[in-house]
Amino acid sequence: MSDMTATTTSVSEALTTADGRPLKAALRRAQSLAKRRAFMLVLPLLAFIVVTFVMPIGELLHESIYNPDFHDNMPETVAWFAANPPSTVPDEAAFTALADDLKTSAAARTVAQVGTRVNYVMPGTRSLFTATGRKAKSLQPPYKDALIAADPKWGDPDLWATMRQVSSSYTADFYLAALDHTHGPKGNIVPVPADQAIYLMLFERTFLVAAAITFICFVIGFPVAHLLSVLPLRTSNLLMIFVLLPFWTSLLVRTTSWIALLQREGVVNDVLVYLGVIDAHGRLQMIYNQTGTIVAMTHILLPFMILPLYSVMRPIPPSYVRAARSLGATSWTAFRRIYFPQTLPGIGAGSLLVFILAVGYYITPALVGGASGQLISNQVAYFITGAGNNWSMGCAIAGLLLAAILILYWVYDRLVGIDNLKLG
């Protein structure tokens, strides 16, 4: 056997190309050239994905744990925290470092940033920093007495514990806040007071609303997709225009149209009053609440359920169901055991697509949701583009939302298998 292997190796090494190169080396070179050519072909797409997708997500995750406003603008106070354990009572050296930093920050006009950073953890302290910063030049030693005389809050141990907590540029505080938790007096993690706990409630509402929208889209979309799949191709293509019509209409127009339809003096209420279903004084409130959010988003996301279902249903041969019925199965049994299992890849794709889009929607809940129809995406927009002005908090909420979607994707892969997902 070894002699045969040696013979085969010697023969392969003896084979050469037309220009005299060993055949094995020529094949390796050709394969290497083919791999490099394929890589160069996909390089523009890879660069596009990295620049527009991977890098922004990386920046978002970095921003969610990075906030250097206190660390960069209060270096002497940070140095005192680093040199003394958390149990140390602030002495004159600590107040001297604080006074020097306040003077420097006031001169650089960054004391408001410092106060804002502390205010994220301990509300009501921004005004303390800005007010003291305005009169920082007049502070004279001993600085402990001078600062406490300027405002007794400077002697509060909880304030110093909070300043120590925010003295690091990198922190997980924003993720704790996004989960309605914070650090206790001893540094332990504790829930925030019940009247301040809003984010977990918003996460729960977001996922429940997204699940409801996904279910409604499935209930409406399945028979529509089935009808389109069994009709002649010319007729189904004509009807498909009505499915695709929302894609050709502005999202803002579609959303505001629902405001006109669902408001108390809108078309739907007028029709119900005309038919005698309700009286003029019992008009339904169907807008600026969760009902309006679910109705408007179902209309917008329904095509994302129908199209994957149609793409899976169309190739299913009708002869399968006819064969099952000819063998004695009822119509329901044939549908349940023959037809429906073959549509599962489309159901999975449509449900996953609709759910993920619903979780991250912002414009529609902002316009028609009101107070009870706001989703967690509206909080992200509030902190990043609105009056919240807290990028780290907004990025932390977005990071948790991304993690939840990835977990959902992983669960789907474990239960159904991502290979069974078909988008078309």
In terms of domains, do 392 and 289 share one? yes
Which helix H or strand E contains 409, and what residues bound it? helix 391-415
Which stretches of 185-246 are assigned E, i.e. beta strand?
Answer: 189-191
Give me the domain span that covers residue 42. Answer: 2-65
CA distance 391 to 405: 21
In terms of domains, do 341 and 388 share one? yes
**Residue 190 covered by a domain:** no
Q: Using an 8 Å Cβ cutoff, are 200 and 181 in contact? A: no
**Residue 186 covered by a domain:** no
Ranges in the chain, pLDDT < 50: 1, 6
In terms of domains, do 209 and 165 share one? no
- Residue 271's domain is classified under what CATH number? 1.10.3720.10
Which residues have C-beta within 8 Å of that of residue 316, sequence separation ≥ 6? 229, 339, 342, 343
**Residue 188 covered by a domain:** no
**Residue 139 covered by a domain:** yes
In terms of domains, do 246 and 386 share one? yes
Which residues have C-beta within 8 Å of that of residue 269, sequence separation ≥ 6? 262, 263, 278, 283, 284, 286
| DSSP result, 188-199 | -EEEPPGGG--H
Q: Which of 135, 153, 171 is the last residue of a domain?
A: 171
Q: Using an 8 Å Cβ cutoff, are 347 and 416 in contact? A: no
In terms of domains, do 55 and 97 share one? no
In terms of domains, do 214 and 318 share one? yes
CA distance 116 to 128: 10
Q: Using an 8 Å Cβ cutoff, are 230 and 318 in contact? A: yes
CA distance 129 to 114: 7
In terms of domains, do 265 and 390 share one? yes
> What is residue 424's predicted lDDT score, i.e. its pLDDT?
55
3-state DSSP assignment of residue 289: coil
Report which of 136, 171, 163, 164 is spatially closest to residue 150, judged by C-alpha positions. Answer: 136
Q: Which of 43, 65, 87 is the last residue of a domain?
A: 65
> What is residue 178's predicted lDDT score, i.e. its pLDDT?
92
Strand partners, 177: none
> What is residue 302's predicted lDDT score, i.e. its pLDDT?
93
In terms of domains, do 365 and 309 share one? yes
In terms of domains, do 276 and 352 share one? yes
**Residue 279 covered by a domain:** yes
The conformation of residue 335, written as its DSSP 8-state character, comes to I
3-state DSSP assignment of residue 22: strand
> What is residue 227's predicted lDDT score, i.e. its pLDDT?
92
Which residues have C-beta within 8 Å of that of residue 176, sequence separation ≥ 6? 182, 183, 189
In terms of domains, do 245 and 112 share one? no
**Residue 176 covered by a domain:** no
Return the half-sphere exposure (C-beta side, CA atoms, 13 A cut-off) of residue 141. 7
CA distance 40 to 161: 55
In terms of domains, do 159 and 14 share one? no
In terms of domains, do 89 and 58 share one? no
Q: How far is the CA of 179 from the CAs of 44, 67, 361, in angstroms?
A: 39, 18, 20
Q: Which of 31, 65, 99 is the last residue of a domain?
A: 65
| DSSP result, 36-82 | HHHHHHHHHHHHHHIIIIIHHHHHHHHHHHB--HHHHH-HHHHHHHH
Q: Which residue has the tokens 């007495």?
A: 145
**Residue 183 covered by a domain:** no
Number of folded domains that form the chain: 3
**Residue 84 covered by a domain:** yes
